[in-house]
Structure 1
């Protein structure tokens, strides 16, 4: 999902229109190198050789080797036609024509492509249809469950259809709307005294909501908190989950907005909620990354170890933010964008100083060595730690519960907009 969102953000920067092709018989195109045998399928039995089996020459749908066989054939064809495979993302291909270029992103049997010259798109479509049995789907509108609306002003990514189906499936389509996904005063615990609820239903709702976070980062924190109680869900937990559904009822049309013509600048935000989980007192990591004005990556996860101070919690979070930044930086190099000194914004001055100070002093002696790699990348110039005021820190929406006014401000600043905001 992050690779797709980064491609969409790059398309808005280059003012490209993305198109989609679909392979009709994907898994019949790949030649398999291994010896694979199958039983005689129903309707194709040979009575004279009932104990014999078939040897496959080409991959069949459902075979483990099928996707790899198809990818090998497709990538070989593209490379033969002067496409260059991405060094980080092996499913990304690029071909340059003087001052123009075309980019192709592959996901199993779906192909997304766009170019700085529309003629290149037409030529690529014809070339692919001549070689494979493919159908041109037109402009990219639906991919991996994401609805994508392209316009002259930008690209909107949303899951409106999925949200409506989700509310209907769990009988919340007529529920009263909520202004925020979680009340600021709510605090979830194991709640041993509360009645238990059906585990299958609770897990089903959580799984559906986690899928929805692909385009709705505003519910990321609330869903992740509720997901911690899937083993023994109680009625109090279910009530909070229903509030998330009620919030979705009032924000069905919300989605990510990627405006066109943004600058090719990448920056990240990191935040940590120290000892927020009352059961084991572990802190929570929250990071997000923005390319231009497009939110392309976000993360909310409980830390693996207990931090002994707010500085340690923030420092570990900046390490996670740095790791994601390096991956995004390398991914952008496949787009021929080379970025250095990527700013990482943090509101903890002590954590910032530790990243710049090579001396191990008392504040860092308890921190595991693997978290100190951020120092190396700061010294190399890959990223720069910068201070930001707490009220301007966009990653806050992934760490805490907020009143309506503060929540709405963060949501809009992250580019999570509805049709009313766009108008």
Structure 2
């Protein structure tokens, strides 16, 4: 859902669309129930002489396992009845296009974004929603899920900031007075599951460390607008079952980096809406499993909209195989992205194939047709889906120099100069002058 918002925002910037926000009050009380559910009489409302009786619920309430689903069904039926069409590739996104008037509606639990090109139509949708549900009108979108939205309509630009959230988590984990870090993950550092507490003192120390909570807080920042910490968060999240002091030091290093980079924003400058992908992989970097780490990033309008850094599910025995597997995973993401853009019906270039850049010549060659059968015959068949995707024209895999590969920081720790250069190309830059 977050990536859908990130895709729609550069489109809104480029086409100069309105972005409005609404909130549904007590959303989960709107759902209907298909099952018979009983509950104890609420405290303070017990009927005299009928203490042993229970209540049969007529509507959904907070606390039910099916409350969120019931609300979603109720909302889905209502907006479809008003002429909205659900995006088949992203169920939280709806569209309504009549002539040259378009409206996109994005639902996240009880938060609603309305994006459109006509103020009158958007107003009518807003008024209709207020009749259907108890709504709160938040006006032009300024904060989305804790992400500050800063807009420069004259220059067709949107910047996303998490400075407030970063300050909050720095304070929560007592890192607000720490030194500033230059990189999210130091070059040359290796972490493994074997780096567990080695003595009673370390075990007692780690028992007091809120490791999982800290990693989860960093994970949310990474999932929202911080692709720069994607690789580092992925590494520290692998050892949550029994982390050691070295793992905690790595987590604190990410916090220190965020302190230095709190004012960096993810910027979409409108203009070109052609998506571009980059894919990369290291080779057997995980010392516990000898598996490789793949990375991928897609940009639209000058800023990253999709990114990932994950450990591969198989062990590659060559760099070509590792890069080929990474390219396959990136191609699958590109298929979804391309179809999502086509379904939006507002991006003229959506039908064109998406270019994915890869820095391994062998993987690029094998994506088009089999090469060196002896070296690649053992590769799992599911990864050869890449060739089918390429052959049907959804994507094209193109060679790029390693130094220019935008996915490089998603697979390994880089020197400062290289890392900073990639951030600029991903749309991450200091835009405090807009505040």
**TM-score tier (shorter):** over 0.9
Task: Check conservation: 2:268, 2:300, Cα contact below 8 A.
Answer: no
Q: Which residue of 1 aligns with 2:391?
A: 379
Q: Which residue of 2 aligns with 1:230?
A: 240
**Which of 241, 245, 251 pairs up with 2:255?**
245
Task: Check conservation: 2:303, 2:428, Cα contact below 8 A.
Answer: no
**Which of 182, 185, 188 pairs up with 2:185?**
182
- Change in 2 beyond 3 A, CA 1:360/1:391: closer
- Change in 2 beyond 3 A, CA 1:188/1:65: closer
Distance 1:185 1:106 in 2: 43
- Change in 2 beyond 3 A, CA 1:44/1:398: same
Task: Check conservation: 2:206, 2:245, Cα contact below 8 A.
Answer: no
Q: Does 1:393 align with 2:401?
A: no
Q: Which residue of 2 aligns with 1:77?
A: 78
Distance 1:25 1:215 in 2: 28
Q: Does 1:67 align with 2:73?
A: no
DSSP 3-state at the match of 1:114: strand
Cα deviation code 1:44-66 (max 9, x no counterpart)? 21233222221222111122222
Q: CA deviation at 1:103?
A: 0.7
Q: Which residue of 2 aligns with 1:132?
A: 133
TM-score, length of structure 2 as denominator length: 0.92
Task: Check conservation: 2:295, 2:307, Cα contact below 8 A.
Answer: yes
Cα deviation code 1:311-355 (max 9, x no counterpart)? 100000001101111111222122114323211110111111111
Distance 2:339 2:134 in 1: 33
Task: Check conservation: 1:17, 1:150, Cα contact below 8 A.
Answer: no
Q: CA deviation at 1:146?
A: 2.0
Q: CA deviation at 1:133?
A: 1.3
Q: Does 1:273 align with 2:274?
A: no
User: Which sits farther off after the overlay, 366-375 or 351-360?
Assistant: 351-360
Distance 1:242 1:180 in 2: 12
DSSP 3-state at the match of 2:333: helix
Distance 2:239 2:300 in 1: 34
Q: Which runs of 5+ in 2 are unaligned?
A: none
DSSP 3-state at the match of 1:401: coil
DSSP 3-state at the match of 1:301: strand
Aligned length: 422
Task: Check conservation: 1:142, 1:148, Cα contact below 8 A.
Answer: yes
- Change in 2 beyond 3 A, CA 1:159/1:369: same
User: Which sits farther off after the overlay, 246-255 or 348-357?
Assistant: 246-255
- Say what the alpha-carbon RMSD is for the aligned residues: 1.9
Task: Check conservation: 1:271, 1:287, Cα contact below 8 A.
Answer: yes
Task: Check conservation: 1:18, 1:140, Cα contact below 8 A.
Answer: yes
Distance 2:409 2:394 in 1: 26
DSSP 3-state at the match of 2:315: coil
Q: Which residue of 1 aligns with 2:329?
A: 320
Cα deviation code 1:64-114 (max 9, x no counterpart)? 222222222222222222222212222211111211211111112111011
Q: Which residue of 1 aligns with 2:211?
A: 202
- Change in 2 beyond 3 A, CA 1:392/1:127: same
Q: Which residue of 2 aligns with 1:299?
A: 308
Cα deviation code 1:293-324 (max 9, x no counterpart)? 22111000111111010010000000110111
Q: Which residue of 2 aligns with 1:218?
A: 228
Task: Check conservation: 1:257, 1:417, Cα contact below 8 A.
Answer: yes
Q: Which runs of 5+ in 1 are unaligned?
A: none
Distance 1:273 1:122 in 2: 50
Q: Which residue of 1 aligns with 2:119?
A: 118
Distance 1:44 1:406 in 2: 66
